[in-house]
Amino acid sequence: MSAARTSPRSVAVPAPAEGTGWVGKSIPTKESVRFTTGHGSYLDDVKLEGTAHIALVHSPYAHARIRSIDVKEASAMPGVLAVYTGEDIRKLVDPFMQLAPPPADKVLDYPLAVEKVRFVGEPVAVVVARDRYLAADAAEMVQVDYDVLPPVMDAESAASPSAPILHEAIGTNRVWDGVYEYGDVDGAFAQADLVIQEKFHYHRFNSAPLELNAALASFDRRTGELTLYTNNVMPMFCMPLVASSLRLPSDRIRVIVPDVGGSFGNKINSFPYMVLVSVLSMQLGRPVKWTELRSEFLAAGTHGNERTFQIEAAVRKDGTLLGLRGEAFDDTGAYARYEPAGAVIWAQVAFSMYRHKNLRLHFHSVFTNKCPVGPNRGYSRAQHLFLYERIMDRIADRLGLDRGEVRERNFVRADEMPYQAPNGTVLDGGDYARALHRVQEMLDLPSLRAQQKALRARGRYLGVGIAAALDSAGNNFAQVRVINPHLPFSGNSESARVWMDMMGRVHVAMGPTNQGQGHETMASQIVAHELGLNPEDVHALPGFDSHSHPYTGHSGAYASRTAVMGGGALLGAARELRRRIQVIAAHLLKTAPEDILLEKGEARSRRTGNALPLSVIGGVALGNSLELPLDMDTNLSVTYVYRPPFRIPSHVDKKGNFTLTYSYQVHGAVVEVDPETGKVHLRRYVAVDDCGNMINPAIVEGQVIGAAVHGIEAALLCEAKYGADGQLLASSFTDYLCATSLDVPPVEVEHFITPSTAGPMGVRGVGEGGGTALPALAAAVEDALSPFGVTFQDSHLTPERIQSAMRGRAPTVPSPP
Amino acid sequence: MEFQGNVEFAAPREVVWKIIRDPTTVAKAMPDFRDLVVTSPTSFTGSAKVGVSVIRGSFRFQFQIEEENPGSFLRLSARGRGIGSSVDIQTRVTLADGGSPTATRMEWKAEAQVGGALAGIAQRLLDQAADRTVRDIFTNLSRLVREGTAAGP
Amino acid sequence: MYPRPFEYRAVTTVDEALRVLHEVEDGKVLAGGQSLLPLMKLRLASPGVLVDISGIPDLSYIRPQGENAVEIGSLTTHDTVAHSALLQERCPILPAAARGIADQQIRNRGTIGGSSCHADPASDLPPTLLALDAEFSIVGPKGSRTVPAKEFFVDLFETQVQRDEILHHIQVPTLGPQWGWSYTKFNRREGDYPIVGVAILVRLDSHGRRLEEVRIGLAAVNPTPCRARAAERFLQGQEISPAILKEAAHRSTEGLHPGSDMHGSSQYRRDMVQVFVRRGLEEAVTRARLAGGNP
């Protein structure tokens, strides 16, 4: 098998140049002090005079026709300013633009349900009142009469022609449907020694940001300007949706994002609520605020994509994977919203970390009567990577090979990097096999196996599971054209502005919002590094404000992109500012710009040693400018847009570079399973991560640990579970079980550093590798219970699911490791 | 969730029928029922407090007689909404001759569906709470029939 | 938290509490608030008047009643129960059960009386108090009365304490050295309501071979906390053996009607009762043997 090679891509900016070396240092995050001492300013901390508050009326049914809504009693309640139904809102706004191609582009999606409700918790009416309590009291008095319809609760049944239809306007439950085919799949199967057939299910879950969705709109009738405070983390991408729905020109909308208390992708889909508070503010002439309740977030926020695979793997008897073919059913819930992007995002990791060449996947995105899905840490890729890791385990088990050896046999090798996969994506460096070996060493696999054997003899079941995964970052938006060739999106870009004032102080603002990842620190480090300053002396503006922050249509904090995309923009802006400072300083110090070194807050001539503090440079350039020639550029404010060299993929062959960087991780889990109860006790968890050069290793470590815990809780505790009747069972934190420190052992992390051949500064995005925990834990549980011969197809392992699989099975004689 | 039961009354079928077919009887059998409005010969509305102990809220109910065969069969739907939840109960009541010529045997089956906040949050208690609520209603109904038949036709 | 409107009355004496409860129509006693307030927040409960008794100073205590009993004031917090040296010495199963309740913040506020009166079938203390044959002293307008544990829990969220009464204190027995105990709660995540909870007390003969008396309290498997009477009867007087304990575990599901939820179906809960009754018996027997010098 010969790997397709590409030459290392030319990179917009090379690795960090000289400087005081702030990039790569684990300095404490600047913003953590305000976040941990109660001084963060989140959306609900924004107080505007005269603000009205809303309470939503939710559907108790998964699928029903709205017969009538009686708001008389609610409207007459004390403090109530107005009550609006979906029909009322429909007259005031345009439906949201749909990303899907026909016929799903005809879906009518409004902030409140119109004509029908399609999932439990869907908002059907809104009460606006003087305060939140009165609004909630009145919302209970809104009388909605429904005709209950049969719900469609799983994607495979929803795709069947006989299923009840959610959106009559399109006459089908299909959001998108298409075949991805790379290589010679049937040829691969013809050569196979073994064909493995399996069905896997990746369950529904989301995240638990401390701050929930929220929005505050204030419409100024005098100027016709709307100020929209939101904690949406991709607000400028959502802006065209919001502006067109509100029928407002975008120059009349100012977007302000204060500190954000976590998102994990879930806050991208809050635009229906942004439109709702905006239209209410426009109607009522006063600010209107909404802060989501946890029960609303769990029922009607964003769930991660639930996916079912029916898959066949063609395998050689030495464990080489030759090809994969099958179907994927993506349950997107009741509205497509950010979907059907999930139907292509997975293709960023279509071949995972493996060298095989042949893949045919018929992908179905389907509406069901559940909460709409959208980005959730590892968006659409974690599902696909789960499939690969489970297939690797199956190959090993069926052939009697070691699970690690099978991975190693199939991994892309370090000497093949950068490696172009058959669908055009380029893996930008790393040594996957070495990371696997390191995890095996950290776990001390031989002694674990001995321990496992000894414990089995005593009726105790220890198991180890190792899984590997990619963490792709900096997506090429053009991939959505695979789904819909007419979508006006491509590439990716980010904007940053770095400027120096007349006191010589340096300010930074950029497009991505900050939901706690330490962006202000990261920005300060990069700029300080380039300008010879201390990060403490660089002021990164908190939050985002479309009036003061630069941005592009891609701006936002999603897809692990800020270090790469924001980093590229910051570097570009800081270097251009450095150049301008050097020109001015050279004039004042009577030397050449190349001779000027920026260090310790000074511009110094290397040749003469003469130096000027930056305050003098700023003061001269901005306040005492006749000291400089008139044709010298005194603009010390630089806005730079970073654009990676993406191409537009062909929507016919579905090939292209879908994303910029690929961090990778190998996770190892040691579990003990109680065979009588099915409860999994996680004993140890180790992770090796390689995200290339790290700007702030402590931040990276936090991301790796956070993502691992997120994945662990998803595997063992969190499930957005629905009953067959369409009721959401995990509707509060009583049943949606987030892990606490008592449930997860310390995650042991090691970093490899293989600089990216694609990202600026050799950096890769990181933070979504938690998906790795799901296959690692499934593998560990199977390993523990191997004497019983049970396997699991699901990514979520409840004690009851494990116990019922074990029912009636006795352990075989202790099997060799 | 499905529940069923049966009870025998010392009264003829037409007497029992007349009582159970009367919206007032249904109203009295529901917990804390008030505001009974008979909207048509086969429908009526009102509110009741549904729940167990402190977990309890006011629900507005719409009752509809979906099917009836006087003296022998009644299918009644009750659709209630309150506290961010829905409670829908479909009831089938069959009357048959009892052990003696003047006795009536009543068999009932109820199918309850709970939606919204109660269904999710009170999930772990739902079976037991619904069982108790439905049984209480039929216990009340049986008592009302007994009182009604004791008072004479 | 956005509850429905309610009136709030803070009282400082038992008499005042009873007077207010008598006066108001829709009163509900608030102790630690760790069950009631979450329900009010979700609007699933909406009492008209909250009568806050947490300020009554003389209801929070743990004191000996002679040699053979301990009296616990109803406002005693779970944390206090968990760390009581007196209970640890005389009735260690109760602190053990209290230690597993929810998290530290909830244990700091939640009370033994509040938990008992709320009578959530999945709470940890009620089955333990049932197994202990505790006695509940209730005060009301007509004076005070004492109710044995087996009568105290009436139905789902319903106890003998009437609307105009309050639980004053609970008395638990001193367990002698021949007693062994265990409290096991099985849940998916630390601190959650148990999928099943099993409180076990065993009294052995002087040789540590025979079961003189066994009491098994179960949580989360019936509308009320309950005792596994069939298993208890079966074990009484039996010589201890793995087969006997297994058989008792099997019999402990007799008469149980556990509900289902996403964490465990009715069948699963029945299976888990068997597992944890057996394990709990083994643990209790081991403890009794150690205490009785018959390891």
Domains, chain A, ranges and CATH? 32-40+493-642 (3.30.365.10), 48-149+223-282 (3.90.1170.50), 306-478+648-806 (3.30.365.10)
Task: Answer whether B116 sits within 8 Å of A734, measured CB to CB.
Answer: no
Q: Is A728 on the interface with B (CB under 8 A)?
A: yes
Partner residue opposite A725 with nearest CB, options B60, B62, B113: B113
Token digits of residue A569: 């923009």
Among A309, A467, A469, A461, residue whose Cα is nearest residue A781: A461
- Residues of the domain holding C136: 66-173
- A84-88, A322-326, A588-592, B31-35: range with lowest mean pLDDT: B31-35
Token digits of residue A259: 């500190």
Partner residue opposite A743 with nearest CB, options C42, C43, C190: C190
User: Phi and psi of C198, rounded to 5°?
Assistant: -130, 120
Quick check: A145 and A67 in contact, CB under 8 A? yes
H/E run at residue B97: strand B85-97
Q: What is the pLDDT of residues A529-540, one digit of tens each?
A: 999 999 999 999
Residue C23, in any domain of the structure: yes
User: In sequence order, which residues have a C-beta less than 8 Å from that of residue A655 and are 6 or more positions away?
Assistant: A182, A422, A423, A424, A649
User: In sequence order, which residues have a C-beta less than 8 Å from that of residue A495 and are 6 or more positions away?
Assistant: A510, A511, A550, A551, A552, A555, A569, A639, A640, A641, A642
In this prediction, residue A19 carries a pLDDT of 44
In the predicted model, is pLDDT for residue A5 greater than 60?
no
Q: Name the β-bridge partners of C143.
A: C140
Split into its structural domains, chain C has a count of 3
ipTM: 0.95
Crossing angle (nearest 10°) for helices A773-784 and A381-399: 30
**A20, burial (CB in 10 Å: exposed 0-12, middle 13-18, buried 19+):** middle
Q: What span, in angstroms and rounded, lies between the C-alpha atoms of C127 and C217?
A: 4
User: In sequence order, which residues have a C-beta less than 8 Å from that of residue A614 and are 6 or more positions away?
Assistant: A500, A504, A506, A531, A533, A581, A598, A601, A602, A603
**Helix (H, G, I), strand (E, B), or coil: what is residue A278?**
helix
User: Phi and psi of A452, rounded to 5°?
Assistant: -60, -45
User: In sequence order, which residues have a C-beta less than 8 Å from that of residue A474 and are 6 or more positions away?
Assistant: A492, A559, A560, A561, A564, A565, A644, A659, A660, A661, A759, A765
Residues C78 and C159 in one domain: yes
How far is A118 from chain C, CA to nearest CA, in Å? 22
Token digits of residue A745: 């052992």
Dihedral angle sign, alpha carbons of residues A507, A512, A516, A522: negative
Q: Is B146 on the interface with A (CB under 8 A)?
A: no
Q: Is A742 on the interface with C (CB under 8 A)?
A: yes
Which of B81, B88, B118, B126 to mutate to test binding with chain A, by most A CBs within 10 Å of its CB? B81
In this prediction, residue A140 carries a pLDDT of 94
How far is C164 from chain B, CA to nearest CA, in Å? 14
Partner residue opposite C42 with nearest CB, options B117, B124, B129: B117
Q: What span, in angstroms and rounded, lies between the C-alpha atoms of C229 and A150?
A: 44
Helical H segments across A325-459, by residue range: 342-345, 381-399, 403-410, 432-443, 445-457
Segments of chain C scoring below 50 in pLDDT: none
Residues C35 and C88 in one domain: no
In this prediction, residue B126 carries a pLDDT of 85
The strand order across the sheet containing A253-257 reads: A80-85, A123-129, A52-58, A288-291, A214-220, A225-230, A253-257, A544-545
In this prediction, residue B152 carries a pLDDT of 52
In the predicted model, is pLDDT for residue A149 greater than 90?
yes
Using CA coordinates, name the residue in chain A closest to B116.
A60
Residue C59, in any domain of the structure: no
Which of B124, B131, B135 to mutate to test binding with chain C, by most C CBs within 10 Å of its CB? B124
Quick check: A567 and A692 in contact, CB under 8 A? no
- Chains in contact with B, where contact means 3 or more Cβ–Cβ distances below 8 Å, are A, C
Please report the residues numbered 52 through 81 in chain A whose beta carbons come closer than 8 angstroms to any beta carbon of chain B: 58-62
Per-residue confidence band for A6, with pLDDT thresholds at 50, 70 and 90:
very low
Quick check: B83 and B26 in contact, CB under 8 A? no
The maximal CA–CA distance of chain A, rounded, in angstroms, is 91
Residue C233, in any domain of the structure: yes
Chain A / chain C CB contacts < 8 angstroms: 57
Distances (CA, A) of C158 to A625, B112, C77: 83, 23, 21
Quick check: A573 and A563 in contact, CB under 8 A? no
Task: Answer whether A737 sits within 8 Å of C192, measured CB to CB.
Answer: yes
Task: Answer whether C191 sits within 8 Å of A740, measured CB to CB.
Answer: yes
User: In sequence order, which residues have a C-beta less than 8 Å from that of residue B70 and are 6 or more positions away?
Assistant: B17, B21
Task: Answer whether C189 sits within 8 Å of A739, measured CB to CB.
Answer: yes
Q: Which of chain C's residues have a Cβ under 8 Å away from the Cβ of B139? A: none
Task: Please report, for chain A, how many H helices and E strands are present, in that order.
Answer: 21, 29
In this prediction, residue B153 carries a pLDDT of 45
Q: State CA A570 to chain mean position distance.
A: 22
Q: Is C223 on the interface with B (CB under 8 A)?
A: yes
Q: Which of chain A's residues have a Cβ under 8 Å away from the Cβ of C189? A: 717, 737, 739-740, 742-743
Q: What span, in angstroms and rounded, lies between the C-alpha atoms of C156 and C159?
A: 8
Q: A631-668 burial, b if ≥16 CB within 10 A, otherwise e?
A: eeebebebbbbbbbebeebebeebbbbbbbbbbbbbbb
Residues C198 and C278 in one domain: yes
As a whole number, the mean pLDDT across chain B is: 91
**For chain B, what are the domain ranges?**
2-150
Q: Is B81 on the interface with A (CB under 8 A)?
A: yes
Percent of all residues in chain A with a pLDDT value above 90, rounded to a whole number: 95
User: In sequence order, which residues have a C-beta less than 8 Å from that of residue C267 and are 6 or more positions away?
Assistant: none
Helical H segments across A311-363, by residue range: 342-345
In the predicted model, is pLDDT for residue A669 greater than 90?
yes
As a whole number, the mean pLDDT across chain A is: 95
Using CA coordinates, name the residue in chain A closest to B87.
A60
Q: What is the pLDDT of residues C57-106, one digit of tens each?
A: 999 999 999 999 999 999 999 999 999 999 999 999 999 999 999 999 99
User: In sequence order, which residues have a C-beta less than 8 Å from that of residue A694 and are 6 or more positions away?
Assistant: A24, A700, A751, A753, A763
Per-residue confidence band for A20, with pLDDT thresholds at 50, 70 and 90:
low
Quick check: A560 and A471 in contact, CB under 8 A? yes
Partner residue opposite A721 with nearest CB, options C262, C268, C275: C262
Per-residue confidence band for A1, with pLDDT thresholds at 50, 70 and 90:
very low
On the CB side of A500, CA atoms within 13 Å amount to 33
User: Any idea of the CA torsion for A40, A43, A47, A51, to the nearest 10 degrees?
Assistant: -170
In the predicted model, is pLDDT for residue B128 greater than 90?
no
Per-residue confidence band for A2, with pLDDT thresholds at 50, 70 and 90:
very low
Per-residue confidence band for A53, with pLDDT thresholds at 50, 70 and 90:
very high
Helical H segments across A458-513, by residue range: 480-483
Other CB atoms within a 10 A radius of the CB of residue A137 amount to 23
In the predicted model, is pLDDT for residue A484 greater than 80?
yes
How far is A232 from chain C, CA to nearest CA, in Å? 23
Percent of all residues in chain A with a pLDDT value above 70, rounded to a whole number: 97
Mean pLDDT of A572-580: 98
Residues C183 and C123 in one domain: no
Residues C97 and C133 in one domain: yes
The CATH number for C190's domain is: 3.30.390.50
Residue C281, in any domain of the structure: yes
3-state secondary structure chain C: CCCCCCEEEECCCHHHHHHHHHHCCCEEEECCCCCHHHHHHCCCCCCCEEEECCCCHHHCCEEEECCCEEEEECCCEHHHHHCCHHHHHHCCHHHHHHHCCCCHHHHHHCEHHHHHHHCCCCCCHHHHHHHCCCEEEEEECCEEEEEEHHHHEEECCEECCCCCCEEEEEEEECCCCCEEEEEEEECCCCCCCCCEEEEEEEEECCCCCEEEEEEEEEECCCCCCEECHHHHHHHCCCECCHHHHHHHHHHCCCCCCCCCECCECHHHHHHHHHHHHHHHHHHHHHHHHHHCCCC
Q: What span, in angstroms and rounded, lies between the C-alpha atoms of A591 and A596?
A: 8
Quick check: A582 and A596 in contact, CB under 8 A? yes
**% helix / strand / coil in chain B, to the nearest 5?**
30, 50, 20
Quick check: C70 and C95 in contact, CB under 8 A? no
Q: Does domain B2-150 have CATH number 3.30.530.20?
A: yes
In the predicted model, is pLDDT for residue A7 greater than 80?
no
Q: Which of chain B's residues have a Cβ under 8 Å away from the Cβ of A728? A: 119-120
How far is A203 from chain B, CA to nearest CA, in Å? 18
First-last CA distance in chain A: 31
Among A810, A760, A799, residue whose Cα is nearest residue A13: A760
Q: What span, in angstroms and rounded, lies between the C-alpha atoms of B46 and C188?
A: 42
Mean pLDDT of A130-146: 96
H/E run at residue B22: none
Residues C167 and C221 in one domain: no
Partner residue opposite A717 with nearest CB, options C186, C189, C265: C189
Task: Answer whether C42 sits within 8 Å of B124, measured CB to CB.
Answer: no
In this prediction, residue B3 carries a pLDDT of 92
Dihedral angle sign, alpha carbons of residues A484, A485, A486, A491: positive
Residue C277, in any domain of the structure: yes
Q: Which of chain A's residues have a Cβ under 8 Å away from the Cβ of B88? A: 148
Distances (CA, A) of B19 to A682, B61, B64: 62, 20, 16
- Nearest-Å Rg of the Cα atoms of chain B is 15
How far is C190 from chain A, CA to nearest CA, in Å? 7
Q: Which of chain A's residues have a Cβ under 8 Å away from the Cβ of B90? A: none
Q: Is A299 on the interface with B (CB under 8 A)?
A: yes
Q: Is A378 left (phi over 0), alpha (psi -120 to 50) or beta?
A: left
H/E run at residue A613: strand A611-613
DSSP category for residue A5: B
DSSP category for residue A677: T
In the predicted model, is pLDDT for residue A10 greater than 70?
no
Q: Which of chain C's residues have a Cβ under 8 Å away from the Cβ of B129? A: 156
Residue C1, in any domain of the structure: no
**A370, burial (CB in 10 Å: exposed 0-12, middle 13-18, buried 19+):** buried
Say which residue the tokens 């002439």 belong to. Answer: A285
Q: By a Cβ cutoff of 8 Å, what residues of chain C touch chain A?
A: 2, 4-5, 42-43, 186, 188-193, 195, 261-265, 268, 271-272, 275
Mean pLDDT of A251-269: 96
In this prediction, residue A813 carries a pLDDT of 63
How far is A62 from chain B, CA to nearest CA, in Å? 9
Q: Which of chain C's residues have a Cβ under 8 Å away from the Cβ of A803? A: 268, 271
The strand order across the sheet containing C49-52 reads: C7-10, C49-52, C27-30
